[in-house]
Chains A and B, each alone.
Chain A
Amino acid sequence: MARFPKPLEGSWTEHYPELGTGPVSYADSISPEFYELERDAIFRRTWLHVGRVEQLPRAGSYFTKDIAVANTSVIVVRGHDGEVRAFHNVCRHRGNKLVWTDNPRAETSGTARQFSCKYHGWRYGLDGACTFVQQEGEFFDLDKADYGLVPVRCDVWAGFVFVHLDREPEQSLQEYLGPMVTAIEDYPFDRLTERYAFRADVPANWKVFMDALQEQYHAPIVHRNQRPENFEAHQAGFEALHYQVDGPHRMFNTPGIRPWELPDDQIKPSEKLLRSGLFGPWDQPEFHEATVIDGMRPGGHERVGVALFEIWPNFGIQLWERGWYHTYQHWPTSHETHGFEWNLYFAPPRNARDVVAQEMTAVSLKEFALQDDSLVASVQSTLGSGGLTEFPLGDQEILCRHLHATAQEWVAASLRERSTS
Protein backbone atom coordinates (compact mmCIF):
# COMPACT_ATOMS: atom_id res chain seq x y z
CA MET A 1 0.00 0.00 0.00
CA ALA A 2 1.50 3.28 -1.09
CA ARG A 3 1.93 5.86 1.66
CA PHE A 4 1.67 8.65 -0.85
CA PRO A 5 -0.93 8.57 -3.62
CA LYS A 6 0.24 7.63 -7.11
CA PRO A 7 -1.28 8.78 -10.41
CA LEU A 8 -4.57 7.28 -11.59
CA GLU A 9 -2.76 4.89 -13.94
CA GLY A 10 -1.60 3.07 -10.81
CA SER A 11 2.09 4.03 -10.96
CA TRP A 12 4.36 6.94 -11.79
CA THR A 13 5.94 4.91 -14.58
CA GLU A 14 2.64 4.10 -16.29
CA HIS A 15 1.68 7.77 -16.07
CA TYR A 16 4.36 8.20 -18.77
CA PRO A 17 3.47 5.31 -21.12
CA GLU A 18 6.31 6.11 -23.52
CA LEU A 19 8.74 4.93 -20.82
CA GLY A 20 7.33 1.39 -20.78
CA THR A 21 7.64 -0.91 -17.79
CA GLY A 22 10.02 -3.57 -19.16
CA PRO A 23 13.65 -4.12 -18.20
CA VAL A 24 16.00 -1.25 -19.09
CA SER A 25 19.18 -1.66 -21.11
CA TYR A 26 22.38 -0.41 -19.47
CA ALA A 27 24.44 -1.13 -22.58
CA ASP A 28 24.54 2.67 -22.81
CA SER A 29 26.79 2.76 -19.74
CA ILE A 30 29.46 0.23 -20.68
CA SER A 31 30.02 0.79 -24.37
CA PRO A 32 32.91 2.92 -25.70
CA GLU A 33 30.99 3.18 -28.98
CA PHE A 34 27.91 4.59 -27.27
CA TYR A 35 30.09 7.11 -25.45
CA GLU A 36 31.57 8.27 -28.75
CA LEU A 37 28.03 8.79 -30.06
CA GLU A 38 26.97 10.70 -26.93
CA ARG A 39 29.59 13.38 -27.63
CA ASP A 40 27.77 14.70 -30.70
CA ALA A 41 24.27 13.44 -30.05
CA ILE A 42 24.02 14.89 -26.54
CA PHE A 43 26.84 17.13 -25.36
CA ARG A 44 27.15 19.23 -28.49
CA ARG A 45 23.37 19.68 -28.72
CA THR A 46 22.38 20.74 -25.24
CA TRP A 47 22.69 23.74 -22.99
CA LEU A 48 25.41 22.89 -20.48
CA HIS A 49 25.67 24.54 -17.09
CA VAL A 50 29.21 25.82 -16.45
CA GLY A 51 29.01 28.07 -13.38
CA ARG A 52 27.23 30.85 -11.51
CA VAL A 53 27.23 34.59 -12.07
CA GLU A 54 28.68 35.11 -8.56
CA GLN A 55 31.91 33.62 -9.97
CA LEU A 56 32.01 36.65 -12.31
CA PRO A 57 31.58 39.58 -9.91
CA ARG A 58 33.08 42.37 -12.07
CA ALA A 59 34.29 43.32 -15.55
CA GLY A 60 37.21 41.08 -16.42
CA SER A 61 36.21 38.26 -14.04
CA TYR A 62 36.58 34.95 -15.83
CA PHE A 63 36.72 31.20 -15.35
CA THR A 64 37.58 28.38 -17.69
CA LYS A 65 35.62 25.16 -18.05
CA ASP A 66 37.15 22.07 -19.65
CA ILE A 67 34.56 19.95 -21.43
CA ALA A 68 36.42 16.77 -22.32
CA VAL A 69 33.35 15.04 -23.74
CA ALA A 70 33.17 17.76 -26.41
CA ASN A 71 36.95 18.02 -26.79
CA THR A 72 36.99 21.66 -25.82
CA SER A 73 37.64 24.17 -23.10
CA VAL A 74 35.68 27.40 -22.81
CA ILE A 75 36.44 30.77 -21.23
CA VAL A 76 33.48 32.47 -19.57
CA VAL A 77 34.11 36.18 -18.94
CA ARG A 78 32.25 39.30 -17.89
CA GLY A 79 32.91 42.13 -20.33
CA HIS A 80 33.32 45.87 -19.70
CA ASP A 81 29.64 46.21 -20.66
CA GLY A 82 28.62 43.75 -17.92
CA GLU A 83 27.66 41.02 -20.42
CA VAL A 84 28.70 37.43 -19.74
CA ARG A 85 30.29 35.88 -22.83
CA ALA A 86 31.90 32.57 -23.65
CA PHE A 87 34.65 31.65 -26.11
CA HIS A 88 36.49 28.53 -27.06
CA ASN A 89 39.65 28.68 -24.95
CA VAL A 90 41.99 28.40 -27.88
CA CYS A 91 44.42 30.88 -29.41
CA ARG A 92 43.69 31.63 -33.06
CA HIS A 93 47.39 31.65 -33.92
CA ARG A 94 48.37 27.97 -33.52
CA GLY A 95 45.70 26.39 -31.37
CA ASN A 96 47.32 26.72 -27.95
CA LYS A 97 45.04 26.60 -24.94
CA LEU A 98 44.76 30.32 -24.28
CA VAL A 99 43.95 30.69 -20.58
CA TRP A 100 45.43 28.45 -17.90
CA THR A 101 47.51 28.78 -14.77
CA ASP A 102 50.46 26.59 -13.95
CA ASN A 103 48.84 23.39 -15.24
CA PRO A 104 47.40 23.37 -18.78
CA ARG A 105 45.17 20.44 -17.88
CA ALA A 106 43.48 22.24 -14.98
CA GLU A 107 40.70 24.81 -14.94
CA THR A 108 41.42 28.31 -13.67
CA SER A 109 39.72 31.59 -12.77
CA GLY A 110 40.64 35.17 -12.02
CA THR A 111 40.35 38.72 -13.25
CA ALA A 112 41.98 40.02 -16.43
CA ARG A 113 42.03 43.12 -18.59
CA GLN A 114 42.87 41.00 -21.60
CA PHE A 115 44.01 37.46 -22.38
CA SER A 116 47.54 36.86 -23.71
CA CYS A 117 48.66 33.58 -25.14
CA LYS A 118 51.53 31.97 -23.25
CA TYR A 119 53.05 30.68 -26.50
CA HIS A 120 53.68 33.68 -28.82
CA GLY A 121 51.98 36.50 -26.96
CA TRP A 122 48.91 37.14 -29.11
CA ARG A 123 46.33 39.12 -27.12
CA TYR A 124 42.56 39.24 -26.99
CA GLY A 125 40.09 41.67 -25.41
CA LEU A 126 37.32 40.65 -23.02
CA ASP A 127 34.99 40.74 -26.05
CA GLY A 128 37.16 38.19 -27.84
CA ALA A 129 38.66 40.59 -30.38
CA CYS A 130 42.28 39.97 -31.32
CA THR A 131 44.12 43.12 -30.18
CA PHE A 132 47.78 42.29 -30.63
CA VAL A 133 49.92 40.05 -32.81
CA GLN A 134 53.59 39.73 -31.88
CA GLN A 135 55.77 40.75 -34.89
CA GLU A 136 52.66 41.31 -36.94
CA GLY A 137 54.80 42.34 -39.93
CA GLU A 138 56.11 38.78 -40.26
CA PHE A 139 52.64 37.51 -41.24
CA PHE A 140 51.05 37.49 -44.67
CA ASP A 141 47.91 39.54 -45.32
CA LEU A 142 46.83 39.01 -41.74
CA ASP A 143 43.90 41.12 -40.56
CA LYS A 144 43.47 40.91 -36.78
CA ALA A 145 39.73 41.45 -37.26
CA ASP A 146 39.56 37.93 -38.76
CA TYR A 147 41.27 36.34 -35.76
CA GLY A 148 39.03 36.98 -32.78
CA LEU A 149 38.31 34.17 -30.32
CA VAL A 150 35.64 31.75 -31.50
CA PRO A 151 32.45 32.61 -29.62
CA VAL A 152 30.36 30.00 -27.81
CA ARG A 153 26.65 30.58 -27.29
CA CYS A 154 26.14 31.61 -23.70
CA ASP A 155 23.09 32.56 -21.67
CA VAL A 156 22.15 32.99 -18.02
CA TRP A 157 19.09 31.63 -16.23
CA ALA A 158 18.46 32.33 -12.53
CA GLY A 159 22.14 33.21 -12.18
CA PHE A 160 23.27 29.87 -13.69
CA VAL A 161 25.56 30.32 -16.69
CA PHE A 162 24.98 27.88 -19.56
CA VAL A 163 26.83 27.40 -22.84
CA HIS A 164 25.75 25.64 -26.01
CA LEU A 165 28.41 24.25 -28.33
CA ASP A 166 26.22 24.36 -31.42
CA ARG A 167 26.59 27.79 -33.01
CA GLU A 168 22.89 27.95 -33.79
CA PRO A 169 21.03 26.15 -30.97
CA GLU A 170 17.54 25.04 -31.92
CA GLN A 171 16.10 26.46 -28.72
CA SER A 172 16.85 29.43 -26.50
CA LEU A 173 17.96 28.49 -22.98
CA GLN A 174 14.56 29.43 -21.53
CA GLU A 175 12.71 27.28 -24.11
CA TYR A 176 15.13 24.44 -23.56
CA LEU A 177 14.63 24.41 -19.78
CA GLY A 178 10.86 24.28 -20.16
CA PRO A 179 8.09 25.11 -17.68
CA MET A 180 8.86 22.53 -14.98
CA VAL A 181 12.43 23.76 -14.47
CA THR A 182 11.82 27.48 -14.99
CA ALA A 183 9.14 27.27 -12.28
CA ILE A 184 11.98 27.37 -9.70
CA GLU A 185 13.61 30.51 -11.07
CA ASP A 186 12.18 32.65 -8.27
CA TYR A 187 14.16 30.71 -5.69
CA PRO A 188 16.59 33.20 -4.06
CA PHE A 189 19.69 31.66 -5.64
CA ASP A 190 21.31 35.10 -5.72
CA ARG A 191 21.17 35.36 -1.92
CA LEU A 192 22.59 31.90 -1.24
CA THR A 193 26.17 32.73 -2.04
CA GLU A 194 28.24 30.91 0.60
CA ARG A 195 29.72 28.12 -1.50
CA TYR A 196 31.30 24.82 -0.56
CA ALA A 197 32.64 22.94 -3.60
CA PHE A 198 33.74 19.32 -3.96
CA ARG A 199 35.32 17.47 -6.86
CA ALA A 200 35.90 13.78 -7.57
CA ASP A 201 37.09 11.57 -10.39
CA VAL A 202 34.56 8.77 -10.38
CA PRO A 203 35.26 5.36 -11.95
CA ALA A 204 31.74 5.02 -13.35
CA ASN A 205 29.71 6.11 -16.34
CA TRP A 206 28.09 9.51 -15.75
CA LYS A 207 24.58 8.04 -15.99
CA VAL A 208 25.34 5.35 -13.41
CA PHE A 209 26.14 8.00 -10.78
CA MET A 210 23.15 10.11 -11.76
CA ASP A 211 21.00 7.03 -11.16
CA ALA A 212 22.22 6.83 -7.56
CA LEU A 213 21.18 10.44 -6.94
CA GLN A 214 17.83 10.42 -8.70
CA GLU A 215 16.37 7.52 -6.73
CA GLN A 216 16.25 7.19 -2.95
CA TYR A 217 15.16 3.53 -2.97
CA HIS A 218 18.80 2.81 -2.03
CA ALA A 219 18.95 5.19 0.92
CA PRO A 220 17.58 2.93 3.70
CA ILE A 221 20.08 0.23 2.62
CA VAL A 222 23.28 2.04 1.68
CA HIS A 223 22.99 4.65 4.41
CA ARG A 224 21.38 2.44 7.07
CA ASN A 225 24.20 2.85 9.60
CA GLN A 226 24.00 6.60 9.71
CA ARG A 227 20.79 6.50 11.70
CA PRO A 228 19.67 4.75 14.87
CA GLU A 229 18.06 1.36 14.35
CA ASN A 230 14.65 2.57 15.37
CA PHE A 231 14.68 5.33 12.78
CA GLU A 232 11.15 5.14 11.40
CA ALA A 233 11.81 6.64 7.99
CA HIS A 234 14.24 3.85 7.17
CA GLN A 235 12.12 1.01 8.45
CA ALA A 236 9.31 1.94 6.08
CA GLY A 237 11.44 1.91 2.91
CA PHE A 238 11.41 4.84 0.56
CA GLU A 239 8.63 6.53 -1.39
CA ALA A 240 8.79 9.91 -3.05
CA LEU A 241 5.90 12.33 -2.89
CA HIS A 242 5.94 13.21 -6.56
CA TYR A 243 7.80 12.40 -9.76
CA GLN A 244 7.56 14.44 -12.95
CA VAL A 245 9.25 14.57 -16.32
CA ASP A 246 9.17 17.44 -18.78
CA GLY A 247 10.87 16.63 -22.08
CA PRO A 248 14.41 15.49 -21.29
CA HIS A 249 14.33 16.97 -17.76
CA ARG A 250 13.04 15.24 -14.64
CA MET A 251 12.33 15.93 -10.96
CA PHE A 252 11.15 14.35 -7.74
CA ASN A 253 10.42 15.59 -4.28
CA THR A 254 10.08 14.00 -0.87
CA PRO A 255 8.75 15.07 2.52
CA GLY A 256 12.34 14.87 3.78
CA ILE A 257 13.28 14.39 7.38
CA ARG A 258 13.00 17.14 9.98
CA PRO A 259 15.69 16.29 12.52
CA TRP A 260 14.64 19.35 14.52
CA GLU A 261 11.31 17.59 15.22
CA LEU A 262 12.74 14.14 16.02
CA PRO A 263 13.17 12.70 19.53
CA ASP A 264 16.72 12.73 20.89
CA ASP A 265 17.22 8.99 20.39
CA GLN A 266 16.81 9.42 16.63
CA ILE A 267 19.42 12.09 16.04
CA LYS A 268 23.14 12.29 16.63
CA PRO A 269 24.13 14.24 19.78
CA SER A 270 26.34 16.57 17.72
CA GLU A 271 23.43 17.36 15.39
CA LYS A 272 21.39 18.59 18.32
CA LEU A 273 24.33 20.48 19.78
CA LEU A 274 25.22 22.27 16.55
CA ARG A 275 21.64 22.47 15.24
CA SER A 276 22.64 21.09 11.86
CA GLY A 277 23.18 17.89 9.92
CA LEU A 278 22.36 16.12 6.69
CA PHE A 279 19.17 18.09 6.08
CA GLY A 280 20.92 21.41 6.55
CA PRO A 281 21.36 23.99 9.29
CA TRP A 282 18.22 24.01 11.43
CA ASP A 283 18.17 27.80 11.74
CA GLN A 284 16.97 29.34 8.52
CA PRO A 285 18.19 32.53 6.85
CA GLU A 286 16.17 35.69 7.56
CA PHE A 287 14.79 35.52 4.05
CA HIS A 288 13.55 31.93 4.45
CA GLU A 289 10.06 32.88 3.27
CA ALA A 290 11.53 33.57 -0.16
CA THR A 291 12.77 29.96 -0.29
CA VAL A 292 9.23 28.57 -0.10
CA ILE A 293 8.19 28.47 -3.75
CA ASP A 294 5.44 26.63 -5.61
CA GLY A 295 7.87 25.42 -8.26
CA MET A 296 9.40 23.10 -5.66
CA ARG A 297 6.07 21.30 -5.24
CA PRO A 298 4.56 20.68 -8.68
CA GLY A 299 2.48 17.85 -7.16
CA GLY A 300 0.83 20.41 -4.89
CA HIS A 301 2.00 18.81 -1.64
CA GLU A 302 2.10 21.08 1.36
CA ARG A 303 5.20 19.64 2.98
CA VAL A 304 8.19 19.19 0.68
CA GLY A 305 11.54 18.69 2.37
CA VAL A 306 13.74 18.08 -0.64
CA ALA A 307 13.23 18.58 -4.38
CA LEU A 308 15.72 17.50 -7.03
CA PHE A 309 15.54 18.87 -10.57
CA GLU A 310 17.74 17.07 -13.09
CA ILE A 311 18.38 19.31 -16.06
CA TRP A 312 19.34 17.36 -19.16
CA PRO A 313 21.95 16.21 -19.70
CA ASN A 314 24.19 16.40 -16.63
CA PHE A 315 23.15 19.08 -14.11
CA GLY A 316 21.05 18.66 -10.96
CA ILE A 317 19.67 21.32 -8.62
CA GLN A 318 18.48 20.11 -5.24
CA LEU A 319 16.47 22.48 -3.05
CA TRP A 320 16.17 21.82 0.68
CA GLU A 321 13.41 22.94 3.02
CA ARG A 322 15.66 24.97 5.34
CA GLY A 323 16.68 27.55 2.75
CA TRP A 324 19.79 26.20 1.04
CA TYR A 325 20.55 24.18 -2.07
CA HIS A 326 23.20 22.15 -3.77
CA THR A 327 24.01 21.21 -7.35
CA TYR A 328 25.42 18.07 -8.94
CA GLN A 329 27.23 17.92 -12.22
CA HIS A 330 28.66 14.96 -14.09
CA TRP A 331 31.23 15.50 -16.86
CA PRO A 332 31.94 12.32 -18.81
CA THR A 333 35.59 11.56 -19.54
CA SER A 334 35.11 8.05 -20.99
CA HIS A 335 32.41 5.35 -21.11
CA GLU A 336 33.42 4.30 -17.59
CA THR A 337 34.74 7.46 -15.91
CA HIS A 338 33.55 10.98 -15.22
CA GLY A 339 34.32 14.08 -13.23
CA PHE A 340 31.83 14.88 -10.48
CA GLU A 341 31.28 18.45 -9.29
CA TRP A 342 29.22 19.16 -6.25
CA ASN A 343 28.46 22.65 -4.94
CA LEU A 344 26.61 23.54 -1.72
CA TYR A 345 25.17 27.04 -1.38
CA PHE A 346 24.09 28.65 1.88
CA ALA A 347 23.15 32.13 3.04
CA PRO A 348 26.26 34.10 4.07
CA PRO A 349 26.94 33.15 7.72
CA ARG A 350 25.96 35.72 10.33
CA ASN A 351 28.35 34.42 12.96
CA ALA A 352 30.67 31.58 13.97
CA ARG A 353 27.70 29.40 14.91
CA ASP A 354 26.39 29.63 11.33
CA VAL A 355 29.84 28.71 9.98
CA VAL A 356 29.98 25.60 12.14
CA ALA A 357 26.39 24.65 11.27
CA GLN A 358 27.15 24.91 7.53
CA GLU A 359 30.34 22.91 7.97
CA MET A 360 28.31 20.26 9.81
CA THR A 361 26.02 19.92 6.79
CA ALA A 362 28.91 19.82 4.32
CA VAL A 363 30.76 17.21 6.39
CA SER A 364 27.64 15.06 6.92
CA LEU A 365 26.75 15.05 3.23
CA LYS A 366 30.27 13.97 2.35
CA GLU A 367 29.93 10.94 4.65
CA PHE A 368 26.90 9.90 2.60
CA ALA A 369 28.26 10.89 -0.80
CA LEU A 370 31.42 8.81 -0.43
CA GLN A 371 29.28 5.73 0.12
CA ASP A 372 27.32 6.51 -3.05
CA ASP A 373 30.56 7.22 -4.89
CA SER A 374 31.99 3.86 -3.88
CA LEU A 375 28.77 2.06 -4.70
CA VAL A 376 28.60 3.35 -8.27
CA ALA A 377 32.20 2.20 -8.76
CA SER A 378 30.99 -1.21 -7.64
CA VAL A 379 28.11 -1.13 -10.16
CA GLN A 380 30.42 -0.12 -12.99
CA SER A 381 32.88 -2.90 -12.16
CA THR A 382 30.33 -5.63 -12.89
CA LEU A 383 27.81 -4.03 -15.29
CA GLY A 384 27.66 -6.23 -18.34
CA SER A 385 29.40 -9.22 -16.78
CA GLY A 386 27.69 -12.53 -17.39
CA GLY A 387 26.08 -10.86 -20.39
CA LEU A 388 23.74 -8.94 -18.07
CA THR A 389 22.81 -5.59 -19.58
CA GLU A 390 19.05 -5.45 -18.91
CA PHE A 391 17.66 -4.72 -15.49
CA PRO A 392 14.19 -4.42 -13.95
CA LEU A 393 13.53 -0.93 -12.54
CA GLY A 394 10.83 -0.27 -9.95
CA ASP A 395 8.43 2.63 -9.84
CA GLN A 396 10.69 4.54 -7.40
CA GLU A 397 13.37 4.29 -10.12
CA ILE A 398 11.29 5.99 -12.80
CA LEU A 399 13.81 8.79 -13.20
CA CYS A 400 16.62 6.30 -13.92
CA ARG A 401 14.36 4.76 -16.55
CA HIS A 402 13.73 8.23 -18.02
CA LEU A 403 17.43 9.16 -18.08
CA HIS A 404 18.45 6.04 -20.00
CA ALA A 405 15.47 6.30 -22.33
CA THR A 406 16.40 9.93 -23.07
CA ALA A 407 20.08 9.18 -23.71
CA GLN A 408 19.20 6.25 -25.98
CA GLU A 409 16.58 8.28 -27.82
CA TRP A 410 18.94 11.21 -28.48
CA VAL A 411 21.68 8.90 -29.73
CA ALA A 412 19.21 7.05 -31.97
CA ALA A 413 17.88 10.35 -33.37
CA SER A 414 21.40 11.48 -34.18
CA LEU A 415 22.15 8.19 -35.96
CA ARG A 416 18.93 8.55 -38.01
CA GLU A 417 19.99 12.06 -39.00
CA ARG A 418 23.40 10.84 -40.11
CA SER A 419 21.96 8.04 -42.23
CA THR A 420 19.56 10.38 -44.03
CA SER A 421 22.02 13.21 -44.61
Chain B
Amino acid sequence: MTATPRLPAEFGDLERFADRWSLRTESERWAERHASSIEDMRELYDAMFPRVDDALAYCDRFPLHDLPDDARNLLHLALSFVMVSFPVEVWNGPRIPDAGDATLDRVVSPAV
Protein backbone atom coordinates (compact mmCIF):
# COMPACT_ATOMS: atom_id res chain seq x y z
CA MET B 1 0.00 0.00 0.00
CA THR B 2 1.56 3.26 -1.07
CA ALA B 3 0.44 6.74 -0.17
CA THR B 4 -1.48 8.79 -2.72
CA PRO B 5 1.04 10.41 -5.06
CA ARG B 6 1.38 14.16 -4.57
CA LEU B 7 2.79 14.88 -8.04
CA PRO B 8 1.35 14.23 -11.52
CA ALA B 9 2.01 10.66 -12.71
CA GLU B 10 4.56 11.69 -15.34
CA PHE B 11 6.72 13.20 -12.57
CA GLY B 12 6.85 9.97 -10.57
CA ASP B 13 10.66 10.20 -10.60
CA LEU B 14 10.38 13.29 -8.36
CA GLU B 15 7.75 11.87 -6.02
CA ARG B 16 10.38 10.91 -3.43
CA PHE B 17 11.12 14.63 -2.87
CA ALA B 18 7.51 15.79 -2.60
CA ASP B 19 6.80 15.23 1.09
CA ARG B 20 9.90 17.06 2.15
CA TRP B 21 10.25 19.80 -0.48
CA SER B 22 6.79 20.55 -1.91
CA LEU B 23 6.41 23.49 0.44
CA ARG B 24 3.99 26.35 -0.09
CA THR B 25 5.78 29.22 1.65
CA GLU B 26 9.24 30.71 1.45
CA SER B 27 9.61 30.45 5.24
CA GLU B 28 9.04 26.70 5.07
CA ARG B 29 11.52 26.33 2.21
CA TRP B 30 14.08 28.52 4.01
CA ALA B 31 13.71 26.43 7.18
CA GLU B 32 14.04 23.16 5.25
CA ARG B 33 17.17 24.42 3.53
CA HIS B 34 18.76 25.24 6.88
CA ALA B 35 17.76 21.86 8.29
CA SER B 36 19.35 20.07 5.33
CA SER B 37 22.82 18.86 4.47
CA ILE B 38 24.50 19.88 1.25
CA GLU B 39 24.18 16.27 0.08
CA ASP B 40 20.39 16.35 0.53
CA MET B 41 20.13 19.61 -1.37
CA ARG B 42 22.42 18.44 -4.15
CA GLU B 43 20.25 15.37 -4.61
CA LEU B 44 17.18 17.54 -5.07
CA TYR B 45 19.07 19.95 -7.32
CA ASP B 46 20.48 17.21 -9.55
CA ALA B 47 17.11 15.50 -9.91
CA MET B 48 15.23 18.74 -10.58
CA PHE B 49 17.65 20.46 -12.91
CA PRO B 50 16.82 18.39 -16.03
CA ARG B 51 13.10 18.30 -15.14
CA VAL B 52 12.29 21.94 -14.36
CA ASP B 53 11.43 22.88 -17.94
CA ASP B 54 9.02 19.95 -18.23
CA ALA B 55 7.53 20.68 -14.82
CA LEU B 56 6.77 24.30 -15.69
CA ALA B 57 5.40 23.30 -19.09
CA TYR B 58 3.07 20.89 -17.29
CA CYS B 59 1.87 23.58 -14.88
CA ASP B 60 1.25 25.92 -17.78
CA ARG B 61 -1.42 23.60 -19.16
CA PHE B 62 -3.66 25.07 -16.47
CA PRO B 63 -4.62 28.61 -15.53
CA LEU B 64 -1.99 29.83 -13.06
CA HIS B 65 -4.49 30.68 -10.37
CA ASP B 66 -6.48 27.50 -10.77
CA LEU B 67 -3.84 24.76 -10.65
CA PRO B 68 -4.90 21.22 -9.70
CA ASP B 69 -3.30 20.11 -6.42
CA ASP B 70 -0.69 17.87 -8.05
CA ALA B 71 0.45 20.62 -10.43
CA ARG B 72 0.63 23.09 -7.54
CA ASN B 73 2.79 20.62 -5.59
CA LEU B 74 5.04 20.39 -8.63
CA LEU B 75 5.33 24.18 -8.79
CA HIS B 76 6.20 24.29 -5.09
CA LEU B 77 8.90 21.69 -5.74
CA ALA B 78 10.33 23.97 -8.45
CA LEU B 79 10.36 26.82 -5.90
CA SER B 80 12.42 24.59 -3.59
CA PHE B 81 14.82 24.01 -6.47
CA VAL B 82 15.22 27.80 -6.54
CA MET B 83 15.80 27.81 -2.77
CA VAL B 84 18.65 25.28 -2.92
CA SER B 85 20.34 26.76 -6.01
CA PHE B 86 22.62 29.16 -4.09
CA PRO B 87 23.58 26.58 -1.43
CA VAL B 88 24.49 24.07 -4.14
CA GLU B 89 26.03 26.32 -6.81
CA VAL B 90 27.70 28.96 -4.67
CA TRP B 91 27.87 28.37 -0.91
CA ASN B 92 28.43 24.62 -0.80
CA GLY B 93 26.21 24.49 2.29
CA PRO B 94 22.91 25.80 3.58
CA ARG B 95 24.26 28.96 5.20
CA ILE B 96 25.23 32.28 3.66
CA PRO B 97 28.85 32.89 4.74
CA ASP B 98 29.35 35.85 7.07
CA ALA B 99 25.61 36.41 7.42
CA GLY B 100 25.80 35.84 11.19
CA ASP B 101 22.41 35.74 12.83
CA ALA B 102 20.85 38.25 10.42
CA THR B 103 17.28 37.52 9.43
CA LEU B 104 15.07 38.76 6.62
CA ASP B 105 11.55 37.39 6.79
CA ARG B 106 9.31 37.09 3.75
CA VAL B 107 5.99 38.51 4.90
CA VAL B 108 4.16 38.81 1.56
CA SER B 109 4.37 36.38 -1.35
CA PRO B 110 2.14 35.86 -4.35
CA ALA B 111 -0.59 33.32 -3.72
CA VAL B 112 0.40 30.21 -5.67
Are A370 and B104 touching (Cβ within 8 A)?
yes
Alpha-carbon gap, A278 to B57, bound state (A): 24
User: Shortest distance in angstroms between B86's beta carbon and chain A's nearest beta carbon?
Assistant: 5
Interface centre among B75, B86, B105, B110 (most CB of A within 10 A): B110
Residues of chain B within 8 A (CB-CB) of A374 are 98-102
**When chains A and B are docked, how far (Å) is the Cα of A358 from the Cα of B52?**
15
Given A268-B90, A359-B82, A373 and B110 contact (CB-CB distance below 8 Å): no
Task: Determine the chain A residues whose CB is within 8 A of the CB of B53 once the complex forms.
Answer: 273
In the complex, whether B3 has a CB less than 8 A from a CB of chain A is: no
Interface status of B96 (Cβ within 8 A of chain A): yes
B64 within 8 A of A: yes
Interface string of B76-112 (1 = CB under 8 A from A): 0011011101100111000011111111111111101
CA of A374 to CA of B100, assembled, Å = 6
Q: Is the CB of A200 within 8 A of B82?
A: no
| CB-based A-B contact count at 8 angstroms | 116
Interface string of A347-363 (1 = CB under 8 A from B): 00111110110111011
B60 CB within 8 Å of chain A: yes
Chain A residues, CB < 8 A from B75: 352, 355-356
Known: A269-B49, A349-B64. A226 touches B108 (CB 8 A): no
Establish whether residues A356 and B78, one from each chain, have CB atoms under 8 Å apart when the complex forms: yes
Please determine whether B89 and A270 come into contact, CB atoms closer than 8 angstroms.
yes
Q: List 24 A–B pairs whose Cβ atoms lie within 8 Å, in order of A's numbering.
A: A195-B108, A198-B106, A199-B105, A225-B91, A226-B86, A269-B49, A269-B89, A270-B82, A352-B56, A352-B59, A352-B60, A355-B75, A358-B110, A363-B82, A363-B83, A363-B85, A367-B96, A369-B104, A370-B96, A371-B97, A371-B98, A373-B99, A374-B101, A377-B102
Q: Is the Cβ of B102 less than 8 Å from the Cβ of A198?
A: no
Docked pose: A374 CA to B97 CA in angstroms: 10
| Chain B contact residues, CB within 8 Å of chain A | 26, 49, 52-53, 56, 59-60, 64, 67, 75, 78-79, 81-83, 85-86, 89-91, 96-110, 112
Q: Is the CB of B85 within 8 A of A349?
A: no
> From residue B103, how far is it (CB to closest CB) to chain A in Å?
6
Decide if A264 is an interface residue (CB 8 Å cutoff).
Answer: no
The residues of B that contact A377 with a CB separation of less than 8 Å are 100, 102
CA distance A92 to B71 in the complex (A): 52
Residues of B within 8 A of A367 (CB): 86, 90, 96
User: A196 to B110, Cβ gap below 8 A?
Assistant: yes
A360 contacts across to B, CB distance below 8 A:
82, 85
> Pick the contact of B52 from A198, A274, A351, A375 — CB < 8 Å?
A274
Residues of B within 8 A of A269 (CB): 49, 89
Residues of A within 8 Å of B26, CB to CB, are 359, 362-363
A359 to B24, alpha carbons, bound, how many Å?
12
Q: Does A366 contact B (CB under 8 A)?
A: yes
Q: Which residues of B contact A273 (CB under 8 A)?
A: 49, 52-53
List the 8 closest pairs (A to B, CB-CB), nearest first.
A352-B59, A197-B108, A270-B85, A373-B102, A374-B100, A374-B102, A370-B99, A351-B60
- Least CB distance from B62 to A in Å reads 9
Contact status of A356 and B82, CB under 8 A, knowing A196-B110, A273-B52, A370-B99: yes
Choose from B64, B102, B103, B107 the contact partner of A355 (Cβ within 8 Å): B64
Interface residues contributed by chain A, number (CB under 8 Å): 42
Q: Nearest Cβ in chain A — how far from B110, in angstroms?
A: 6
Complex CA gap A342/B103 in Å reads 13
Separation in Å of the A213 CB from the closest CB of chain B? Answer: 13
Asked if A294 CB lies within 8 Å of chain B CBs, one says no
Cross-chain contact A353 with B56 (CB below 8 angstroms)? yes
A371 adjacent to B56 (CB under 8 Å): no
Tell me whether A364 is interfacial, beta carbon within 8 Å: yes
In the assembly, what is the distance between CA of A340 and CA of B108, in Å? 14
Judge whether A194 is part of the interface by a CB distance below 8 angstroms: yes
Is the beta-carbon distance between B108 and A349 smaller than 8 angstroms?
Answer: no
Complex interface: chain B residues within 8 A of A355 (CB):
64, 75, 79, 110, 112
Distance of A196 Cα from B104 Cα, bound (Å) = 12
Are A373 and B104 in touch, CB under 8 angstroms? yes
A274 touching B98, Cβ below 8 Å: no
In the complex, residue of chain B having the shortest beta-carbon distance to the beta carbon of A354: B64
> How distant is B50 from chain A, measured CB to nearest CB, in Å?
9
Q: Which residue of B lies closest to A376 (CB)?
A: B102
Whether A366 contacts B79 in the complex (CB less than 8 A), given A352-B64, A355-B112, A371-B98, comes out as: no
Contact A370 B56 (CB under 8 A): no
The distance in angstroms between the C-alpha atoms of A340 and B105, with both chains bound, is 10
Which chain B residues lie closer than 8 Å to A274 at the CB level?
52, 82
A residues 216-240 with Cβ under 8 Å of B? 225-226
Residues on A with beta carbons closer than 8 Å to the beta carbon of B91: 225
Min CB–CB distance A205 → chain B (angstroms) = 16
